[in-house]
Amino acid sequence: MDIHELTRALYIKNESKIVLVVADGLGGLPARKGGPTELEAACTPNLDKLAQENVCGLMTPILPGITPGSGPGHLGLFGYDPLVYRIGRGALEALGIDFDLGSDDVAIRGNFCTVDDTGVLTDRRAGRIPTETCKRLVEKLRKAAVSGVDLFVEPGREHRFVVVLRGDGLGGDVADTDPQVTGTPPLAPQPRDAASSRTAEAAADFIRQAREILESEHPANMVTLRGFAKRPPIPSMKDVYGLSACAIAVYPMYRGLARLVGMDVVPAGATLAEQFESLRKHWDSYDFFFIHFKYTDSTGEDGDFDAKVRRIEELDGLIPRVMEPNPAVLIVTGDHSTPSALKSHSWHPVPVLLASASCRPDGAAKFGESDCLTGGLGRFEAKYLLPQALAHAERLAKFGA
Could you tell me how far CA 54 lies from the centroid of its own chain?
Answer: 27
Q: Does 380 bind a second copy (CB under 8 A)?
A: yes
158 and 134 Cβ atoms separated by less than 8 Å:
yes
Q: Does 384 bind a second copy (CB under 8 A)?
A: yes
Interface positions, 76-105, toward a second copy (CB under 8 A):
82-84, 86-87, 89, 92-93
Compare residues 267 and 363 and give the one whose CB is closer to a second copy.
Answer: 363
Compare residues 52 and 182 and give the one whose CB is closer to a second copy.
Answer: 52
Spell out where 329-382 has E strands. Answer: 329-333, 350-355, 378-381
From 185-193, 202-210, 296-304, 389-397, give the range in contact with a second copy by CB under 8 A. 389-397
Compare residues 122 and 374 and give the one whose CB is closer to a second copy.
Answer: 374
Q: Does 32 bind a second copy (CB under 8 A)?
A: no
**Using N-to-C axis directions, what is the helix angle for 252-260 and 89-96, rounded to 10°?**
120
From 43-51, 123-131, 155-163, 340-348, give the range in contact with a second copy by CB under 8 A. 340-348
Compare residues 121 and 253 and give the one whose CB is closer to a second copy.
Answer: 253
Nearest one of 234, 226, 217 to 2, comparing CA atoms:
234
From 33, 147, 168, 284, residue interacting with a second copy (rule: CB under 8 A): 33
* Residue span 212-251 as binding mask against a second copy, x where in contact by CB under 8 A, dash where not: ----------------------------------------
Spell out where 179-244 has E strands. Answer: 222-230
38 and 309 Cβ atoms separated by less than 8 Å:
yes
Torsion of CA 211, 214, 217, 218, to 10 degrees: -40
From 34, 103, 216, 326, residue interacting with a second copy (rule: CB under 8 A): 34
From 12, 14, 43, 63, residue interacting with a second copy (rule: CB under 8 A): 63
CB of 239 to a second copy, least distance (A): 18
Which helix (H) or strand (E) covers residue 111, if one does? strand 106-115
d(CA 338, CA 351): 12
From 8, 49, 69, 182, residue interacting with a second copy (rule: CB under 8 A): 69
From 155, 191, 256, 339, residue interacting with a second copy (rule: CB under 8 A): 339
Nearest one of 209, 215, 264, 210 to 236, comparing CA atoms:
264
From 145, 343, 363, 365, residue interacting with a second copy (rule: CB under 8 A): 363
CB of 325 to a second copy, least distance (A): 20
Q: Does 370 bind a second copy (CB under 8 A)?
A: yes
CB of 33 to a second copy, least distance (A): 6
Compare residues 323 and 373 and give the one whose CB is closer to a second copy.
Answer: 373
Greatest CA separation for the chain: 74
From 27-35, 42-50, 165-173, 243-251, give the range in contact with a second copy by CB under 8 A. 27-35
From 26-34, 141-149, 159-167, 276-284, give the range in contact with a second copy by CB under 8 A. 26-34
Compare residues 181 and 401 and give the one whose CB is closer to a second copy.
Answer: 401
CB of 265 to a second copy, least distance (A): 20
d(CA 401, CA 399): 7
Distances (CA, A) of 166 to 151, 188, 242, 364: 6, 20, 31, 51
Q: Does 388 bind a second copy (CB under 8 A)?
A: yes
Half-sphere exposure (Cβ direction) of 71: Cα atoms closer than 13 Å: 19
Which helix (H) or strand (E) covers residue 212, if one does? helix 197-213
d(CA 50, CA 56): 9
234 and 227 Cβ atoms separated by less than 8 Å:
no
Q: Does 194 bind a second copy (CB under 8 A)?
A: no
Q: Does 365 bind a second copy (CB under 8 A)?
A: no
d(CA 285, CA 269): 18
Q: Could you tell me which residues come within 8 angstroms of residue 119 by beta carbon, excluding any fewer than 6 positions away?
A: 185, 186, 222
d(CA 356, CA 320): 15
Which residues of the shown chain bind a second copy in the complex (CB under 8 A)?
1, 3, 6, 10, 29-30, 33-35, 37, 53, 58, 62-73, 82-84, 86-87, 89, 92-93, 339, 341-342, 344-349, 358-363, 369-370, 373-374, 376, 378-380, 384, 386-391, 396-401
